Each structure stands twice: as structure tokens, then as C-alpha cells.
Amino acid sequence: MQMKRRTAGTVLVIDDDDEMRTVLKDFLQRDGHRVVEAPSGDAAVLLVETEPVDVVILDKEMPGMNGLDVLAFLHRRFPATPVIFITAFGGPRVADESYRRGAVEYIEKPFRLSSVVDRVQKLIDDAE
């Protein structure tokens, strides 16, 4: 179809909000990606051990394990896997912190889903 040089990948979406996860999933699946969901940091940490992923979309505010801690863990465990860190109106301090802990991208909610999906696509393409 229209996706000529488009590579599909596996994207892990970590967010405690079901609706948020679903809307991200709908967008990503529409572009042909496979989406794995985790409703919390703890679930995500377990999941990544069995599920190979290409890109991670990680929300900061979650009950249990904090997004920043998950980010640090992922960066240590899978340094090659790019993580897009998202949070609602985090501000420059959170941005700073997320880059220091290994995020490749920091995006504030509310964002344009199309731009995030484009970004995911680019990361997958780059990894090829």
C-alpha cells in the first residue's frame, strides 16, 4: 500500500491510564506496529525480560515504580532500546532529569499523537 520503506516494530507503551494507552495503541497499530502494554512500571520491568521491544513510550507519573526509576532501569538493562519519556506539563527540570537518565526524547502531554508516531517510526527506521 502506501507504506513503501516503512518498517514495522514492537512498541512498549507504559502508562497507568487505560485510555491513554489505547489511543497510543490505535495510532501505532494503524501504522502497522505491534504494541505491548504495561499499566505500571513494575509490570513493564517484568515484561521487558520476555518481550523484545524496539521502542518504549514511558509515562512519568505512575503508582508504584516511578517513571524515572523505570527509565533508569531500562537504560541500564537495554541501553540500545530508545525510550520516549512523556509526562503531563513536566517542565524543564523533568526534561533535564529524563535526558540524564537516558531518554532519547522528552515529550509533554498533551502532545500531537501524529508527531509521536512519526518519532517512533524514525527511531525504528534508524535502528535498522
Partner 1 sequence: MRRAVGLRVRLILVLLIPPILVVGVYGFVRVRMERAELLAEDQRNVVTIATAAQVAVERALRDAQPSELAAVLADVVKDHRQISRLRVFDRELRPTTVSNPLATSDETSTDVLRRVMQTGRAEGFTRRAGKESFFFYVLPVRAAKGAIIGSIEIAHSTAAIDKRIQNGTWDIVVRLSVLVVSMTALTGIVVQRQLLRPLFALTEGIRNLGRGNPAAPLPVDRHDELGRVAEAFNTMASQLRIARRQLVAENERALELEQQLRHSATLAVAGRLASGLAHEIGTPLNIVSGRAEFLLHNLPADDPRRAELQVIIAQIDRISTMIRSLLDTVRPLKPTIQNIGVKSVVDDLLILLTHTARRHGVTLDVSVPEDLPPVRADRNQLQQVLINLLMNAFEAARPAGAVRLTAAVASRESRPGVDIIVRDTGHGIPASLMNRIFEPFFSTKPPGEGTGLGLPICRDIVKSLDGCIGVESTPGRETAFTVWLPSGPAE
Quick note: the x/- pattern for partner 1 over 38-57, rule CB under 8 A, is --------------------
Give 86's contacts (C-beta < 8 A, 6+ positions apart): 15, 57, 58, 59, 60, 106, 107, 108, 109, 111, 116
Nearest to 57 by CA among 67, 43, 47: 67
Minimum Å gap between C-beta 21 and partner 1 is 10
Place of cell 541501553: 79
The single residue among 61, 73, 99, 104 that binds partner 1, judged by CB under 8 A, is: 61
| Binding piece for partner 1, criterion CB under 8 A, among 3-11, 22-30, 44-52, 120-128 | 22-30
Q: Considering beta carbons, is residue 61 or 78 the nearer one to partner 1?
A: 61
Q: How far apart are CA 126 and CA 18, in angstroms?
A: 29
Q: How far apart are CA 7 and CA 128, in angstroms?
A: 8
Minimum Å gap between C-beta 111 and partner 1 is 6
The single residue among 49, 112, 126, 128 that binds partner 1, judged by CB under 8 A, is: 112
> What residues pair up with 13 in beta bridges, in sequence order?
37, 57
Binding interface with partner 1 (CB under 8 A): 15, 17, 19-20, 23-24, 26-27, 30, 61, 87-89, 91-93, 108-114
